[in-house]
Structure 1
Amino acid sequence: MILSNDSIIVMKPPYIITSEILKLVTSISERIGEINATHLYKPTTELRKKNRIKTIQSSLEIEGNTLTEEQITALLENKRVIAPKKDILEVQNAIKVYDKLNKFNPYQLKDLEKAHLVLMNGLIGNAGKLRTTNVGIIKGSKIEHVAPNGIMVKGLMKDLFAYLKKDKDLILIKSCVFHYEFEFVHPFIDGNGRMGRLWQTLILMQQYPVFEFLPIENLIKQKQNEYYTKLSESGKKGSSTPFIEFMLGIILNTLEALLQSQNKTLRTDDRIALFKEKICQNKFNRKDYLQSFKNISAPTASRDLKRAVEQSILMKFGEQRLTEYQFK
Structure 2
Amino acid sequence: MKPPYTITDNIITLIASISEKIGEINANHLYKPTTELRKKNRIKTIQSSLEIEGNTMTEEQISALLEHKRVIAPQKDIIEVQNAIQVYEHLRQFNPYQIKDLEKAHGILMQNLIDNAGKLRTSNVGIVKGSKIEHLAPSGTMVNGLMKDLFKYLKNDGDLILIKSCVFHYEFEFIHPFVDGNGRMGRLWQTLILMQQYPVFEFLPVESLIKQNQKEYYTRLSESDKSGNSTPFITFMLRLILEALEQLLQSQNKILNTEERVALFKEKVGNSRFGRKEYLQNFKNISAPTASRDLKWAVDNEILLKFGEQRLTEYQFKM
Q: What TM-score comes out, normalization by structure 2 length?
A: 0.90
Distance in 2 separating the partners of 1:220 and 1:297: 41
- Identical counterparts, % of pairs: 75
Query: Secondary structure in 2 aligned to 1:67?
Result: coil
Distance in 2 separating the partners of 1:294 and 1:33: 14
Distance in 1 separating the partners of 2:285 and 2:211: 31
Tell me the residue number matched to 1:4: none
Summarize the alignment of residues 68-83 of structure 1 with structure 2, pairs less than 5 Å apart.
Answer: 68-83=58-73
Summarize the alignment of residues 1-328 of structure 1 with structure 2, pairs less than 5 Å apart.
Answer: 11-264=1-254, 266-280=256-270, 281-285=272-276, 289=279, 291-294=281-284, 304-305=294-295, 307-314=297-304, 315=306, 326-328=315-317
Say how many residue pairs are matched: 315
1:105: how far off? 1.6
Summarize deviations over 1:177-234 as a string: whole Å, max 9, x none: 0000010111111100000000111111122222122211111111111111111111
1:173: how far off? 0.6
Distance in 1 separating the partners of 2:72 and 2:41: 23
1:129: how far off? 1.5
Which has the larger displacement, 121-130 or 82-91?
Answer: 121-130
1:12: how far off? 0.6
Q: Identify if the C-alpha distance between structure 1 residues 119 and 131 changes in structure 2 by more than 3 Å, giving closer, same or farther.
A: same
Distance in 1 separating the partners of 2:274 and 2:233: 48
1:306: how far off? 5.2
Unaligned runs of at least 5 residues, structure 1: 1-10
1:302: how far off? 6.2
Amino acid at match of 1:224: Q
Summarize deviations over 1:116-143 as a string: whole Å, max 9, x none: 1111111111111112222221223322
Q: Identify if the C-alpha distance between structure 1 residues 154 and 313 changes in structure 2 by more than 3 Å, giving closer, same or farther.
A: closer
Summarize deviations over 1:8-40 as a string: whole Å, max 9, x none: xxx211100011111111222222222223332
Cα RMSD, aligned residues only: 2.3
Amino acid at match of 1:149: S
1:69: how far off? 1.1
Tell me the residue number matched to 1:7: none
Query: Secondary structure in 1 aligned to 2:135?
Result: strand
Q: What TM-score comes out, normalization by structure 1 length?
A: 0.87
Q: Identify if the C-alpha distance between structure 1 residues 302 and 231 changes in structure 2 by more than 3 Å, giving closer, same or farther.
A: same
Distance in 2 separating the partners of 1:119 and 1:311: 41
